[in-house]
């Protein structure tokens, strides 16, 4: 297939859809897409770098994730590719960390405190009818405020700079995306969704954030929030419905 090399022009969305359609059979199309989104892969690799491992290794892993995303992307689903690719690439990087042993284990004491909190905080919230203060939680949990904050910090399984908990054993990046076909349609309008998200109650916002930006499964979210997976599923569905209504 011949290509005219002219001055660089930005690809329109239609051109990109065409590239994706051809990517399966045409290595040149796949290559173009990979080049186009290479900055995204590099950005994510740098974001998750830390602890002394060479960034270039991570950049390579990120590019593997990018190619995987290009191959698996279904443009008919109305998800922005950048969002889809981000989840895939981050998943790939986390697998890499787990496999190469860069993940740092959380000390047992903090794990236990974290579990205690994930049970107590929803209980207390329910009793008070609002999110409790750190002081109230410390009192109920019979811990110091420092310990509560420490446990909160260690509970954060995925952060932008460090990885303190093992990635979910069973899930692949494809699974973390889940099968909520309708909800993925929202991702295209994410920029306009952000203000609506701020209107949501804190817990619902957190679930959305964990699901779509951290790529956590519903089970992982359930564990972190101390509620059942069914409950997460219902809350998620309800929240997305509310957002859809808000967006008109």
List 31, 38, 43, 188, residue binding another protein (CB under 8 A): 43
Distance CA 79, CA 175 (A): 16
Nearest CB to another protein, comparing residues 18 and 136: 136
Distance CA 28, CA 247 (A): 38
Q: How far is the CB of 134 from another protein (least distance, A)?
A: 4
Q: How far is the CB of 197 from another protein (least distance, A)?
A: 5
Position 152 contacts another protein (CB under 8 A) = yes
**Please, what's the b/e burial string for 92-127 (b: 16 or more CB within 10 A of its CB; e: otherwise)?**
bbbbbbbeeebbeebeeebeebbebbbebbbebbee
Question: Rounded to the nearest 5°, which phi and psi values hold at 142?
Answer: 60, 45
Judged by CB under 8 A, the stretch of 5-13, 14-22, 26-34, 188-196 that binds another protein is: 188-196
Number of chain residues interacting with another protein (CB under 8 A): 40
Position 206 contacts another protein (CB under 8 A) = yes
Position 88 contacts another protein (CB under 8 A) = no
- Residue among 114, 204, 125 nearest 156 (CA): 114
List 74, 153, 175, 181, residue binding another protein (CB under 8 A): 153
Distance CA 24, CA 22 (A): 6
**Please, what's the b/e burial string for 45-74 (b: 16 or more CB within 10 A of its CB; e: otherwise)?**
beebbbeeeeeeebbebbbebbbbbbeebe
Q: How far is the CB of 43 from another protein (least distance, A)?
A: 7
Residues 6+ apart with CB under 8 A from 166: 98, 103
Binding mask 208-227 for another protein (x = CB under 8 A): xx---x--------------
Nearest CB to another protein, comparing residues 156 and 172: 156
Binding site for another protein (CB under 8 A): 43, 46-47, 49-51, 82, 86, 121, 125, 130-135, 137, 145, 149-150, 152-153, 156, 159-162, 190-191, 194-195, 197-198, 202-203, 205-206, 208-209, 213
């Amino acid at each position: 297939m011949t290509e005219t090399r002219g001055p660089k022009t930005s690809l329109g969305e239609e051109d990109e859809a065409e590239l994706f359609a051809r990517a399966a059979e045409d290595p040149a199309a796949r290559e173009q897409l990979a080049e186009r989104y290479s900055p995204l892969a590099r950005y994510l690799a740098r974001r998750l770098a830390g602890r002394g491992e060479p960034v270039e290794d991570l950049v390579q892993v990120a590019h593997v994730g990018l190619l995987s995303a290009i191959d698996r992307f279904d443009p008919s689903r109305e998800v922005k590719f950048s969002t889809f690719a981000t989840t895939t690439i981050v998943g790939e990087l986390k697998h890499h960390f787990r496999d190469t042993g860069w993940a740092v284990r959380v000390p047992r004491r903090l794990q236990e405190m974290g579990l205690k909190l994930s049970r107590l905080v929803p209980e207390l919230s329910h009793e008070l009818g609002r999110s409790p203060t750190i002081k109230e939680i410390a009192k109920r949990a019979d811990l110091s405020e420092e310990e509560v904050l420490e446990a909160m910090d260690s509970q954060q399984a995925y952060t932008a700079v460090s990885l303190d908990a093992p990635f979910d054993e069973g899930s692949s990046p494809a699974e973390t995306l889940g099968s909520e076909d309708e909800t993925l349609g929202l991702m295209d309008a994410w920029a306009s969704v952000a203000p609506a998200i701020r209107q949501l109650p804190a817990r619902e916002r957190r679930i959305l954030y964990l699901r779509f930006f951290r790529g956590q499964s519903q089970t992982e979210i359930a564990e972190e929030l101390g509620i059942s997976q069914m409950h997460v599923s219902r809350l998620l569905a309800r929240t997305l419905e509310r957002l859809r209504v808000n967006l008109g």
